[in-house]
Chains A and B, each alone.
Chain A
Amino acid sequence: MSQAAEHVHAQGQQHPIKIYLWIWALLFLFSIFSYLVDYFDLHGALRWTLILTFMIVKASFIVGVFMHMAWERLALKMAILVPPLALLILISLMAIEGDYTFVTRLAAFVAR
């Protein structure tokens, strides 16, 4: 690994073209899958699970291989990938807040 790391640093990020072509093909495949979710008009929990799964798989391929994050040292991975986890707190809080606003609105101008 350290030899490989040395090679990467000496030459910049250089990997076989085959890897990129594979990831490229997989991105197409998963985009078609997400499109089919809409095409077959799936609903409810199944739809949301599939959409989020395909989204995360595609995002990992892009960040990991195309942006070479998989080959970076852990210090850089952590500096870039850990801070966005704070956003999960923002998303949860805003989801709770949105629900509260919805219920308040129902009580204020729909129930009347």
Chain B
Amino acid sequence: MANDIQAGAAPEGLQGVAADYSADKQAFPVPWGKAMMWIFLLSDTFIFTCFLTSYMNVRISTTVPWPHPSEVFALDVGGAHIPLLLIAIMTMILITSSGTMAMAVNFGYRRHRGYTTALMLITAALGATFVAMQAFEWTKLIVQENVRPWANPMGAAQFGSSFFMITGFHGLHVSAGVIYLTVVALRVWNGFYDRKGTYETVEIAGLYWHFVDLVWVFIFALFYLW
């Protein structure tokens, strides 16, 4: 609550930046957990960018043709051959889960315990569905299409290593998020944050979840569509 004292008087724009950093108070008028989550997500941005940059580098430098993702990830449904179908469904699921998470944060600040818990559990369930579909995708690729991190029948060997490293690390983030959201949801339900007096933890968990969705936006564009 010490945050509230100076907030009204603080100047905006670059003047505000100078005032926030130089005044005798904490620089960011947000809960410390939120600032720390942002810093963590910043470091995670660097990790994922390093992965995507290494993928870009091997894809540029290989002399063997790169496998066509649109065909590799196509599915046959009732005789029809639909490119990237599974990936499109996974994208929609993750966006939907981001929407339910945003609503959960909103209802958290309105102190609707029931709605917040339900929306967070729906978000976690959608996340678990995403991981399950990813497991299906990996199984199909390894068992049926013989893709390995060191070789594959479709073209450049680097395809497998890039794919398993990038989607594997993202899937790990989603799995961790599902556990994180479930723990916070149960604490919302048993009234932990009502006793604590603030629902900021729900927003912080939300930041992590939206980041996972954000990373998928980049993977979808740069790996699957490029």
The residues of A with any CB-CB pair to B shorter than 8 Å are: 1-3, 5-6, 9-15, 17, 20-21, 23-24, 27-28, 31, 34-35, 37-39, 41, 47-48, 51-52, 54-55, 58-59, 62-63, 65-68, 72-76, 78-80, 83-84, 87, 90-91, 94-95, 97-99, 101-102, 105-106, 109-110
Cβ of B163 within 8 Å of any chain A Cβ, yes or no, is: no
Q: Which residues of B contact A106 (CB under 8 A)?
A: 63
State the Cβ distance, B7 to closest chain A Cβ, in Å.
Answer: 5
State the Cβ distance, A89 to closest chain B Cβ, in Å.
Answer: 11
Instruction: Find out whether the CB atom of B88 lies under 8 angstroms from the CB atom of A84.
Output: no
Instruction: Find out whether the CB atom of A99 lies under 8 angstroms from the CB atom of B60.
Output: yes
Instruction: Find out whether the CB atom of B95 lies under 8 angstroms from the CB atom of A31.
Output: yes
A76–B89 alpha-carbon span in the complex (Å): 34
**Can you list 14 contacts pairing A with B, beta carbon distance less than 8 Å?**
A3-B8, A12-B198, A12-B203, A20-B103, A24-B96, A31-B220, A63-B210, A67-B207, A73-B20, A74-B12, A75-B27, A90-B49, A91-B53, A98-B56
State the Cβ distance, A84 to closest chain B Cβ, in Å.
Answer: 5
Instruction: Find out whether the CB atom of A13 lies under 8 angstroms from the CB atom of B203.
Output: yes
**Secondary structure dominating the interface of A:** helix
A98–B162 alpha-carbon span in the complex (Å): 15
A84–B211 alpha-carbon span in the complex (Å): 14
- Count residues on chain B whose CB falls below 8 Å from chain A CBs: 71
State the Cβ distance, B97 to closest chain A Cβ, in Å.
Answer: 11
Query: Known pairs A23-B102, A76-B28. 9 more at Cβ < 8 A?
Result: A12-B200, A20-B102, A34-B225, A37-B225, A38-B225, A62-B98, A65-B102, A68-B203, A87-B45
Instruction: Find out whether the CB atom of A20 lies under 8 angstroms from the CB atom of B16.
Output: no
Chain A residue at minimal CB-CB distance from B12: A1
A55–B216 alpha-carbon span in the complex (Å): 10
A46–B58 alpha-carbon span in the complex (Å): 23
- Contacting residue for B84 out of A5, A17, A38, A99, CB 8 A: A38
Q: Which residues of A contact B53 (CB under 8 A)?
A: 87, 90-91, 94
